[in-house]
Structure 1
């Protein structure tokens, strides 16, 4: 492989724009014994990558059982649905169902409540007028003394 093409592949490699086949060509070139003098500085990089690929771990890994985890999440979903259903059902059934007689009685109660409020407002206006009469009486007593 000529030196100019290798330099172009190296630039693309360091920018992350090479394909797997181009990277394989670079690895083959730098793992070969004949490397151009101006590219010798890159040889340790590819030698290190080759050594890292050959490494194997002797440690035994034990993975936790994932089956129990999925069962728990399934039960959580069921429990959440039951709670939501209970909440909606209790809200629906807590609404009062009045008979026609009870509805009429409630309407009559509301009308009588409005009438009592109107009477109370008018009574309060009359009480204000009486306070003026009381003031008039005190002033009259002072004058006739």
Structure 2
């Protein structure tokens, strides 16, 4: 029964679905002297994990000292505020500001422009009618010749 349980735990271990207690059970089983013949091929994995866990280094590690970044953070935030203020100010000042007299002149100009467009459209319609008169004259001349 224990061998079947170990095989099930081994399959779950390789799928990555075992809990810590189940992995401890597998480690205890494979670190013993008595391992089933069909599972001997997995024994070096668990023996290697046990040996890796026992390794210790005598090397001293020195981590680089980190400088405080408060000044840089303050400088970046101030620069960002200046950029935003410059953008908003340039947008505001780029908008045209007209006096009342200039606004009235622009309104009169728009009305004049619309009237001229209406006149131009009507003249174009009249010019189209003249092409029919010209065609009529050409046809009349051909008939009376």
Task: State the TM bucket, normalised to the shorter chain.
Answer: 0.5 to 0.7
**TM-score, normalised by the number of residues in structure 1:** 0.65
Name the structure 2 match of 1:23.
Answer: 23
RMSD, matched Cα: 4.2
1:63 shift after superposition: 4.9
Q: Distance in 2 between matches of 1:59 and 1:11?
A: 38
Q: Distance in 2 between matches of 1:37 and 1:132?
A: 109
1:118 shift after superposition: 4.0
Name the structure 1 match of 2:41.
Answer: 41
Counterpart mapping for 1:5-24 below 5 A: 5-24=5-24
Note the alpha carbon deviations across 1:44-65, whole angstroms, 9 max, x for none.
1111111222234556555556
Flag structure 1 segments of 5+ consecutive residues without an equivalent.
135-145
Q: Distance in 1 between matches of 2:55 and 2:126?
A: 102
Determine if the alignment matches structure 1 residue 93 to structure 2 residue 97. Answer: no
- The size of the alignment, in residue pairs, is 145
Flag structure 2 segments of 5+ consecutive residues without an equivalent.
135-145
Question: In structure 2, do the counterparts of structure 1 residues 127 and 97 end up closer, same or farther at CA, with 3 Å as the change threshold?
Answer: same
Question: In structure 2, do the counterparts of structure 1 residues 84 and 41 end up closer, same or farther at CA, with 3 Å as the change threshold?
Answer: same
1:99 shift after superposition: 2.5
